[in-house]
Structure 1
Amino acid sequence: MDIDFSFMDNEDFGLAKSFSTAPVSLIAPQISLASKEQVAPEKEYTESMEQSEIKADGFCFKLAPTEDQVQFQRQLKTMAPKMTDFAKGTTTLAFEFKEGVLVAVDARATQGAFISSNQVRKVIEINQFLLGTMAGGAADCQFWEKYVAMQCRVFELRHGYQPSVAMASMMLCGIMRQYKGYGLSMGTMFTGSDSKGASLYYIDNDATRLRGRLFAVGSGGTFAYGVLDTNYRYDMSLDEAVNLGVRAIASATYKDSASGGVVRVYHVTNHGTWNLIHDQIDVSQLHYEFENSKGHRGDGRENTKSNFL
């Protein structure tokens, strides 16, 4: 059966068009709003009361006019592969050690062969105890991880305590399962600290959810794994963990053209908090520092005879 693709010419195709709201009383019955108590039951909410509402579920995404969205995506990959095969690249990594979880990321954003930015923040600060990394489609990662942040806040209002890291990761995994096959592009590491200490999860757009000690995600992940597998130890100190994370990212950016910019490093403690250790370390400068540490001068080629001289 032929499908009419003319609807994709609309510039608003695929955008979230509307959001619904829910009163605080529905989300957290134990909370009493003074402004609500002053209004008679038969009267509608005033504008000031609407500002006290919390946004809840009710996204209205504009999708293709077909009942089977998954089958549509499969046909789209055949008929228009460039619309779904995103040219993306990044390097993100995280690993557990005795003092918590160390997260290190690069900062390059690419559009195919074009480098669009070297200052992208690929660690999403979900709340005061949760962090998420960004690999794949930037829009998908940012939107859904911020949505999980809202859901965590709603859970806290309802129950009076924060959700665990495992529960928060299941929220995101449940969303990915609901939209599986819809064309999302996301590979994120979810880490945080709760009453059981720091923990680390990997979640992607296929609703895969893995609990692990060490992950490297993105086009440069293979190169980062080479450094991590060689030098990783669980009993590392914080300084050793930071140096390992920085070296792994720097090595990946040197070999992967889609990774680069600066290195950012976060530390998730075992006591319910996270800290930003390094905000901007230039990877090009790191390469020369690592070469110097090996006893090389400059870029390591001064003592090599060139065939072009």
Structure 2
Amino acid sequence: APGRDLAGSNSNSLANLGWNKGEMTSKKASDVPLEFHVPSLFKRPSSRASHSVSVRRPFPLSHGTTTLGFIFQGGVIAAADTRASAGGLVACPAVHKITPIHSHLVVTSSGSGADCMLWERILTREIRLYQLRHKRRLSIRGTAKLLSLMLHPFKGTDVCVALTLCGWDKLIYVCSDGARLQGDIFSVGSGSPYAYGVLDRSLSWSLNKEEAILLAREAVFRATHRDAYSGNNVDLFHVTAEGWRQRQREDLKEEYYRDMEKRGLYNKTLFLAI
């Protein structure tokens, strides 16, 4: 209002807070409390303290899986187990670790389940937008480069993603630090050393379709038999110039029994009698 004493009003309001005018003039600026006491619920964590230190997790988030892909004369084979683990727990026995992106591209995923699902959805969206804008599909190499560029800013963070892009003529591995590798054979996950042992022994360019499928299934089976973080079932995709085809999901327990019978170490009649 006109004629209102703003200084006096300010002094009165400060006096209500316990400050008088004499104290205000005698105190130095350094004596005025500038730090507000914020409730601990709203305090930002220190930049030096990591999330794992400030918040105690109920169990260690160690990851485990077995995924693989390889090229042969009939196209590309992608295979993976279906067990999702959280430390020593089996979080889910029937997850999907191979995701179709479009008709000629599937992606195998390894790492944190939430991160992998998020980045697969982002990649699917970006490829669809590219196709709508340019009236053509992005190549496998272009897709891998796009994914690498999107993931590189997250290098050094807790993002844990390892994706293998399986096109009908190319196989490219991309991980969460932005690395991009092209090859003829990849296996990713805690069971990959066991899968590589089978693939390196029997893989050749001249395999026919059925031989390649049997090889991929056996590689996943051997890995899940030795790796505690992999198991339950096997998913298998065959990608060709006509598109991808998914084989029916198979229980690895049945593969184990077939292997034991073949080696003469399992008598089904005796097992049922017992």
TM range (shorter): 0.7 to 0.9
Report what 1:120 is aligned to: 95
Q: Give the Å deviation of 1:188.
A: 1.2
Report what 1:306 is aligned to: none
Report what 2:146 is aligned to: 171
Query: Of the candidates 204, 207, 226, which is equivalent to residue 178 of structure 2?
Result: 207
Q: Any stretches of 5+ residues in structure 1 without a counterpart?
A: 1-5, 11-63, 67-71, 303-309
Q: Letter of the aligned partner of 1:76 in structure 2?
A: S
Q: Letter of the aligned partner of 1:172 in structure 2?
A: L
- Report the Cα distance in structure 1 between the residues aligned to 2:235 and 2:40, rounded to whole angstroms: 38
Query: Aligned pair in 2 of structure 1 residues 7, 274: CA closer, same or farther (>3 Å)?
Result: farther
Q: Give the Å deviation of 1:273.
A: 0.9
Question: How many residues in Structure 1 have an aligned counterpart in Structure 2?
Answer: 231
- Equivalent pair of 1:92/1:104 in contact (CA under 8 Å): yes
- Equivalent pair of 2:84/2:90 in contact (CA under 8 Å): yes
- Equivalent pair of 1:124/1:142 in contact (CA under 8 Å): no
1:50-199 mapped onto 2 (5 Å cutoff): 76=50, 79=53, 86-193=61-168, 198-199=169-170
Q: Give the Å deviation of 1:82.
A: 7.0
Is 2:194 the partner of 1:219? Answer: no
TM-score (norm: length of structure 1): 0.69
1:193-247, Cα deviation, whole Å (9 max, x unpaired): 3xxxx11011111111100100110010111111111111111001000000000
- Report the Cα distance in structure 2 between the residues aligned to 1:220 and 1:166, rounded to whole angstroms: 27
Q: Give the Å deviation of 1:187.
A: 1.1
- SS for the counterpart of 2:247 is strand
Query: Of the candidates 277, 280, 285, which is equivalent to residue 254 of structure 2?
Result: 285
- Report the Cα distance in structure 1 between the residues aligned to 2:78 and 2:170, rounded to whole angstroms: 12
- SS for the counterpart of 1:135 is strand
- Equivalent pair of 1:186/1:205 in contact (CA under 8 Å): yes
Q: Give the Å deviation of 1:183.
A: 1.3
- SS for the counterpart of 1:210 is strand
Query: Aligned pair in 2 of structure 1 residues 293, 249: CA closer, same or farther (>3 Å)?
Result: same
1:237-248 mapped onto 2 (5 Å cutoff): 237-248=208-219
- Report the Cα distance in structure 2 between the residues aligned to 1:251 and 1:266, rounded to whole angstroms: 18
TM-score (norm: length of structure 2): 0.77
Query: Aligned pair in 2 of structure 1 residues 199, 80: CA closer, same or farther (>3 Å)?
Result: farther
- Report the Cα distance in structure 2 between the residues aligned to 1:207 and 1:8, rounded to whole angstroms: 37
Is 2:265 the partner of 1:296? Answer: yes
Higher relative contact order (Cα pairs below 8 Å, separated by 6+ residues): 2
- Report the Cα distance in structure 1 between the residues aligned to 2:146 and 2:256, rounded to whole angstroms: 39
- Equivalent pair of 1:92/1:249 in contact (CA under 8 Å): yes
- Equivalent pair of 1:192/1:272 in contact (CA under 8 Å): no
Query: Aligned pair in 2 of structure 1 residues 282, 9: CA closer, same or farther (>3 Å)?
Result: farther
- Report the Cα distance in structure 2 between the residues aligned to 1:8 and 1:297, rounded to whole angstroms: 62
Query: Of the candidates 236, 256, 266, which is equivalent to residue 265 of structure 1?
Result: 236
- Equivalent pair of 1:165/1:192 in contact (CA under 8 Å): yes
Q: Letter of the aligned partner of 1:126 in structure 2?
A: I
- Equivalent pair of 1:202/1:211 in contact (CA under 8 Å): yes
The alignment yields a C-alpha RMSD, in angstroms, of 2.8
Query: Aligned pair in 2 of structure 1 residues 259, 80: CA closer, same or farther (>3 Å)?
Result: farther
Q: Give the Å deviation of 1:81.
A: 9.8
Q: Letter of the aligned partner of 1:206 in structure 2?
A: D
- Report the Cα distance in structure 1 between the residues aligned to 2:267 and 2:218, rounded to whole angstroms: 18
Is 2:249 the partner of 1:274? Answer: no
More helix by share: 2
Q: Give the Å deviation of 1:151.
A: 0.7
Q: Letter of the aligned partner of 1:155 in structure 2?
A: Y
Question: Identical aligned pairs, as a percentage?
Answer: 30
Q: Letter of the aligned partner of 2:215 in structure 1?
A: L
- SS for the counterpart of 2:236 is strand
Q: Give the Å deviation of 1:79.
A: 3.9
